[in-house]
Amino acid sequence: MTGDPTHSGGGAGAPDEVVVDARGLLCPAPVIALARAARSLPEGARVTVLATDPAAAVDVPAWARMRGHRVLETTEDGEHLVLTVLLGPAKAR
């Protein structure tokens, strides 16, 4: 529950896929962890945020909108939220 990103993809030309485990963290920590991970990733990378703080359902899309990224999917599995963000141009980070 550190918010540290875990790289999980990026084979032969595929964009990076990263999971940010923000479970147990409270606002604004999930967004801070997401922003930290996004800084080192290329445009087109997907970042999946796992969060238990209900505020992440609002905060992550707001951050993405302000930075030129897109939230592709938001789901809840009963224990935590899963938000998938597609990163836009590097200048937006």
32-85 pLDDT tens trace: 999 999 999 999 999 999 999 999 999 999 999 999 999 999 999 889 999 999
Residue 10 inside a domain? The answer is no
Establish if 7 belongs to a structural domain: no
Prior bond to 54 cis, omega within 30? no
Q: Which residue in 87, 80, 72, 93 sits closest to 52, CA to CA?
A: 80
Q: Is residue 31 part of a domain?
A: yes
Catalytic pick from 17, 27, 80, 84?
Answer: 27
Greater confidence (3 vs 60) lies with: 60
pTM of structure: 0.84
CATH number at residue 43: 3.30.110.40
- Domain extent for 56: 15-92
What per-residue confidence (pLDDT) applies to 90? 74
Q: Name the band, by pLDDT with cuts 50, 70 and 90, for residue 92.
A: low
What's the number of domains the chain is made of?
1
Task: Say which residue the tokens 């080192």 belong to.
Answer: 40
Instruction: Decide if 27 is catalytic.
Output: yes
The predicted pLDDT at position 12 comes to 46
User: Distances in Å between the alpha carbon of 12 and those of 41, 52, 85?
Assistant: 16, 33, 21
In a domain, 6, yes or no: no
Task: Tell me the Cα Rg of the chain.
Answer: 12
